[in-house]
Structure 1
Amino acid sequence: HNIKLYSDLSPYCFGSQTPVRNETPGFNVWVFIYEKGYQSTDTAVSSVFTKMKGVGYTNVNGQERVWDVADYVFPPQGDSSFVVMTNYIITEGQAMGKCPEVRLFCPSLLFPFLLRHMTGICVNTTKTCEVLAWCPVENDHNIPDPPLLMSAENYTLFIKNSITFPIFDVTRSNLVEGVDANFIRTCLYDPVTDPLCPIFRLGDIVKLSGFSFEVIARVGGAIALVIDWTCNLDLDITHCKPKYTFHARASVGYNFRFAKHYMEDKIQKRTLLKVFGIRLDIIVQSLARKFDIIPTLTAIGSGVGIFGVATVVCDLVLLYLLPKREYYKNMKFKYTDGGHQESLDLDRSSYYNLEANTRRVEDTVQSNVSL
């Protein structure tokens, strides 16, 4: 009896099963948690207002001058993109007329793109070409070093940004809870201690973007100040706050010319400024998410359906396309002596035979116990 009992039980006690791994739950969790598959999204409509503050001082050849916001910000309207002048080359008292070029050679052939009209006459005293232009012509060969407006490092920039997520009907401002008039009066942006302060020191902006202020102030450059609004509206609205980052737009080098016209002795004259400055582009990025039943059901259906397709595709590739397809066929199917192919999966009759064998073993065990 003991030998028969052992032989009857051994297939069930010492048998093994190969578990089938199902990755669908893991994929659905990834879609739901990481990709926020249960939420709908919206981007914001944004407006930006800026205001610079600070006073600059220069002393060029004994001529003292004070520069305020109206002098060094272009344009002065407070747009989201503007230039702060940090260095310049000034040519005063220009009037329309004929005068010699400042270069040490006639540039008519080498520099045909110059915005001056060549008269075709060479001036012997200067050994240069005569031009019809605003005279005296500008000499921009020598850029002032150090920059004339190094004091711009301590200018401050105030930013007011308002956004609206139209789908969710949510409006926010960078003057969030706790950022009131008293706080603004004393704060200065710092990524660690004051990350929500809307007042920025120009020198800090340059430093956080990776530039050297003295280098960029001398020849100019462009910096992007990015305001990022990434909000989960399933949480309290107070968690929707801006994050400021700073990026160098390109290598250093940015300038343009600006003229101030006036009349003197009934002659139109101008003062020409070649301005080197820091161009600031304020860019607003936004993405809001909130629970929505439609994307939730869509994510569930996609997660389940993609594995149904994957099973079919994998079978086709393994059984018909790969060089070792015969090996995979042998692993997936078994053959009887008659050569007929049958699936390893249990059919309905095999299942009932297995159940009957299991009951027979249980009866044998009970009879042995009773003996």
Structure 2
Amino acid sequence: MSKTAGGFQSCLHYMFDYQTPKTLVIPNIRAGFFFRFAQLLVLLYVVGYVCVVQKAYQETDSVTSSVTTKVKGFAFTNTSDMDPRFWDVADFVIPSQGDNSFFVLTNMVITPIQTQSRCPELPNPSSICVDDCDCIEGQSDPRGNGIQTGLCENYSTTVKTCEVLSWCPLEIDTKLPEHALLAAAENFTVMVKNSITYPKFNFHRGNMWPHINSSYLKRCEFNRVTDPDCPIFRLKHIISEAGEEFQDMAVKGGILGIIIDWSCDLDWWAGRKCSPKYSFRRLDSKHAVNNVAPGYNFRFAKYYKTADGEETRTLIKAYGIRFDVIVFGTAGKFAIVPTIVNLGAALSFLSLVPVVFDWFMLTCSRKRDLYSKYIVSYLNEDAVTEAVLMGTSYGTQ
């Protein structure tokens, strides 16, 4: 046989011979029990957690959502600061349309009949004066209420402040009513209309179910037990489920989240489960000790003109509750690619079990020398070289 033919035959054996690893069976019941137990834990993780709980066989998509809201209710106030007044949606929902949010007025400080004129500034370290020399004409304080005229005027019988050009009389926002003026707002209702889409699966759904019609909406109210499909929520119940008291929160206002979870299983064997789950949570800070600038408020004005053409306004510092509608969710559906990838990655943990146990048997076992004799084979280079040379000499004869 020529060297070329022998080399070609060796190459064929290298490419097409079947090879299998050598298996060493150790008849030790205790070691075998722990080995099988470790394999069982890995299988439970793969089948139970990865496949069942995490649903690794699915591909997923994030929700795309649109929300519209409509508040209904009315209230009546009769205080010393203003005449008896009836309030409806146009008065207490500000603004009338929001981006996934709406604001309900619950308390206020009203400064009526303001005109652009001159009046003493409210007392503060930068406005208190003794004479005109302490006031600089044209100077303004960003935290003040107007532009100084250069005059020092009597604010009260004991205090003098710099005169300012502003909307007078100035607002005094320290006299906040201790009880919310619009306490009746707890019985207002809001209808939340929500539509969602999962673009990857071309799946569309909304919280207006087929059985919901006009007559149903007139009589229903959301209840987690008796009527979970109704999209109409009473504000008092929303605040209560968030762990707050409406009347306490209404005094200085706050921010509350209406959270809608659209987590869906779109596999046919799961019945295409996809329905909204509502939860409620207060979002603004409510620190018991360091509670600086608590609540939620802003200012707006209503402008008028008198019979002689003079412009006046009523300034309202509005306290209330802002409701943010937050929609999130993930949909999953069976797909072969993530199934193979995740299952293969999870099953690869099984190959680590023999490696760990081999290491333990060779390093920690009392019979590690015996096991090492059968598990590990050491290469004798001189013997191998002699065997190769002898094989070569026989081949040349």
Q: TM-score, normalised by structure 1?
A: 0.78
1:240 corresponds in structure 2 to 274
Equivalent residues in 2 for 1:171-320, closer than 5 Å: 171-234=204-267, 235-237=270-272, 239-250=273-284, 251=286, 253-264=295-306, 265-308=308-351, 312=355, 314=356
1:31 and 2:62 correspond: no
Residue identity opposite 2:374 in structure 1: S
In the TM superposition, residue 307 of structure 1 has moved relative to its aligned partner by 3.9
Matched, 1:96 2:116: yes
- CA deviation after TM superposition for structure 1 residue 83, in Å: 0.8
- Give the Cα–Cα distance (whole angstroms) in 1 for the partners of residues 281 and 257 of structure 2: 5
SS at match of 1:295: helix
Q: Are the counterparts in 2 of residues 99 and 135 from structure 1 also a CA contact under 8 Å?
A: yes
**Percent pairwise identity:** 41
Task: Give the deviation of 1:102 after TM superposition.
Answer: 3.9
Instruction: Tell me if structure 2 keeps the 8 A contact 1:221–1:279.
Output: yes
CA offsets 1:319-343 (integer angstroms, 9 cap, x no match): 7xxxxx9852x5573249xxxx413
Aligned counterpart, 1:6 = none
Structure 1 contact 93–270 (Cα < 8 Å) conserved: yes
Q: 2:106 aligns with which of 81, 86, 100?
A: 86
Letter in 1 for 2:77: T
d(CA) in 2 for partners of 1:310, 1:96: 83
From 317, 321, 342, the equivalent of 2:373 is 342
> Which deviates more from structure 2 when the two are superposed, residues 171-180 or residues 33-42?
171-180
Say if 1:227 and 1:243, in contact at 8 Å, map to a contact too: yes
Q: Map residues 126-137 of structure 1 onto 2, 5 A cutoff.
A: 126=156, 127-137=160-170
Partner of 1:124: 154
> 2:392 is matched with which residue?
none
Cα separation, partners in 2 of 1:182 and 1:266, compared to 1, 3 Å? closer
Do the aligned partners of 1:232 and 1:289 also contact (CA within 8 Å) in 2? yes
Q: CA deviation at 1:196?
A: 1.8
Q: In structure 2, what is the Cα distance between the partners aligned to 1:257 and 1:332?
A: 83
Deviation at 1:246, TM superposition (A): 0.3
Matches of 2:362 and 2:354 in 1, distance apart? 18
Contact 1:48–1:162 (CA under 8 A) maintained in structure 2:
yes
Q: CA deviation at 1:129?
A: 2.9
Give matches, 1:12-51, under 5 Å: 17=29, 18-19=31-32, 20-21=35-36, 22=39, 23-29=41-47, 30-51=49-70
1:332 and 1:344 in contact (8 A); partners too: no
**Equivalent-residue separation in structure 2 for 1:230 and 1:157 (angstroms):** 23
In the TM superposition, what whole-angstrom CA distance separates every residue of 1:89-108 from its partner, at most 9, and x where no partner exists?
111111112101344x5543
Which has the larger displacement, 32-41 or 128-137?
128-137
Once residues 363 and 274 of structure 2 are traced to their aligned partners in structure 1, the CA distance between those partners, rounded to angstroms, is: 57
- Which among 66, 79, 82 is matched to residue 86 of structure 2? 66
CA separation of 1:293 and 1:327: change in aligned 2, threshold 3 A: closer
- The CA deviation string for residues 32-60 of structure 1, in whole angstroms up to 9 with x for no partner, is 01111111111111000100001111112
CA distance in 1, matches of 2:64, 2:231: 19
Are the equivalent residues in 2 in contact too, given 1:106–1:129 (CA < 8 A)?
Answer: no
Measured after TM superposition, the shift of residue 177 of structure 1 is 4.2
1:333 maps to 2:375: no
The C-alpha deviation readout for 1:223-266, integer Å capped at 9, x for no partner, is: 000011111111334x3111110001122511000011232323
Assess if the C-alpha contact under 8 Å between 2:69 and 2:102 holds in 1: no
Cα distance in structure 2, aligned partners of 1:162 and 1:84: 23
State the one-letter code of the partner of 1:333.
R
Gap change, CA 1:301 and 1:202, over 3 Å in 2: same
Structure with a larger share of its residues in strand? 1
Structure 1 residue 186, shift from structure 2 partner: 1.1
Structure 1 residue runs of 5 or longer lacking an equivalent are 1-14, 320-324, 346-371
Task: Note closer, same or farther for the CA distance 1:37–1:331 as it changes in structure 2 (3 Å cut).
Answer: farther
**Alpha-carbon deviation of 1:198?**
0.4
Label 1:135 to 1:309 Cα distance change in 2 as closer, same or farther (>3 A). same
Shift of 1:311: 5.7
Q: Amino acid of the residue matched to residue 343 of structure 1?
A: Y
The amino acid of 2:337's aligned partner reads I
> Deviation of residue 27 (structure 1)?
2.1
Kept in 2: contact 1:81–1:282 (CA 8 A): yes
Residue 128 to residue 178, structure 1, CA distance change in 2 (3 Å): same
Distance in 2, matches of 1:114 and 1:276, equals 21
